[in-house]
Structure formats: C-alpha cells, structure tokens
Structure 1
C-alpha cells in the first residue's frame, strides 16, 4: 500500500487579539465558528478548519488565504457593507483557456492578506455598483 497525504484539514494564523479576530472572521467575513477553547478560535472554511491562535510574538503575515466565491462583485459589495476595506479593485488575474480567474484583496486586523477569488466564464466582467 502506498502512502499519500489527505486533504489539508486545518490552517493556523497567529493573532494579537483573539476577541478582535473572532469578531472579524465571524461577524465581518461571516465564517461559521466551530468552537473556542481559551484563546484558540476555530472557524469552518468549507470543510477546512481555520485556527486563530494568540501569539506573543510579532505577527508575521504569511501566504495569502483565498476564499472562493460564486459572485466576486456581490461578495465584495456585501463585505464593504459590513465595513471591510479592500486594498485593490476586482481584477483579472489569469485568463485561462476555458475560464478567467478574478481576485480582489484585503487584510485582517493583524495584517494577514486575504482574497476573494472567482473562476468566471470567459468574457465575464464585474458590473459597476448600481447608483441608488
């Protein structure tokens, strides 16, 4: 029998203030909180657990975390309505043969880079906000 790794089960981010980060990931991003154990806070990211753990060291943001969404423009408007500030515009990252990859980036309270990503049909373009 050959050895193989299974899917990634959990990723961890160091945070300065677990309460602040719990509010950000739960209330602003809308992730489902699984549980909290002391200062450790666990969220569900579509079957992958996100662990927020307090760090007494200076927070060193690592590789971005990309959240897949069905409609990047709608998701961005919803998050902006919750007070989230993005650091760029929705942009085409990679035109593929059969679809296009669109992204937009933001940071959490500790400076971890996060992104929304959408695999869209060829030729899709974000629609401007409706004025109202």
Structure 2
C-alpha cells in the first residue's frame, strides 16, 4: 500500500543566528559595510532582513553557545561586483571569487570572507 502522507522537508530559512562578541561593531558591519537592511535592536540582539530570511546578531547567553559556527551563503546577482564593492568597504576576503560547480543551467561561484566578529 502506497503512503499518501506528504513528504516532510525543510525548504526555506526563516532566521539565522550569528554570534557577536561586540554587538555594536557587528551592527555597523552588517548595516554599513554589507548594506543589509537593519530592522531593530534590543538588549543583546539586533535583527536584519536579508531577502526572505531574518538575520539575528546576538551575544551568546551561555558559554556553551559562545563559539564561532555560523556560515552564511548570500545570493548575489553579480559576484564580481559584490566582491569589488565589499572589498572597497574594507571587507577582507579569505578567497577570491572562484567557480565551485558548473551545471548545464547554472554556475556556482563562491568568495569567502569573515565578518567583523571573525
């Protein structure tokens, strides 16, 4: 008997948490350097909109949460332009834009950088 239960699968991200050591410095980086739309700030947290995803910068509340572990992949229409613009704003890149995968209908390019929090 075939199952008629719909398959469950995560298909979008609602919010990403990015740990910050210095919240004010991180807000300046995400707002002023990356140009991400700032939403609001409350004690120990700041919120930004990135397309359909909310990005929350926050100070870790416990030692077990105080570690660098965020990797965020941003979609940009022109990676060369994004790289040039962000480098001009002082962003230090770990890697230059490089082709990761070529498929018949798209190419996947990456350029890695660290945010203000390392």
Asked whether the two chains share a fold, i.e. TM above 0.5, the reply is: yes
Cα deviation for residue 63 of structure 1 reads: 4.6
CA separation in 2, counterparts of 1:59 and 1:36?
20
Residue 55 in 1 paired to residue 68 in 2? no
Question: Which runs of 5 or more structure 1 residues have no equivalent in the other structure?
Answer: 112-132
Question: Which runs of 5 or more structure 2 residues have no equivalent in the other structure?
Answer: none
In terms of fraction of residues, the more strand-rich structure is 1
RMSD: 2.0
Q: 1:55 to 1:98 in 2, by over 3 A?
A: same
Moved beyond 3 Å, runs of 4+: 1-7, 56-59
More deviation, 5-14/102-111 = 5-14
Answer whether contact 1:59 1:110 (CA < 8 A) is retained. no
Match of 2:48? 43
Cα deviation for residue 2 of structure 1 reads: 5.8
Q: How many residues align?
A: 111
In terms of fraction of residues, the more helix-rich structure is 2
Answer whether contact 2:19 2:70 (CA < 8 A) is retained. no
Question: Normalized against structure 1, the TM-score is what?
Answer: 0.75
Residue 76 in 1 paired to residue 75 in 2? no
CA separation in 2, counterparts of 1:94 and 1:61?
27
CA separation in 1, counterparts of 2:96 and 2:19?
27
Q: 1:67 to 1:6 in 2, by over 3 A?
A: closer
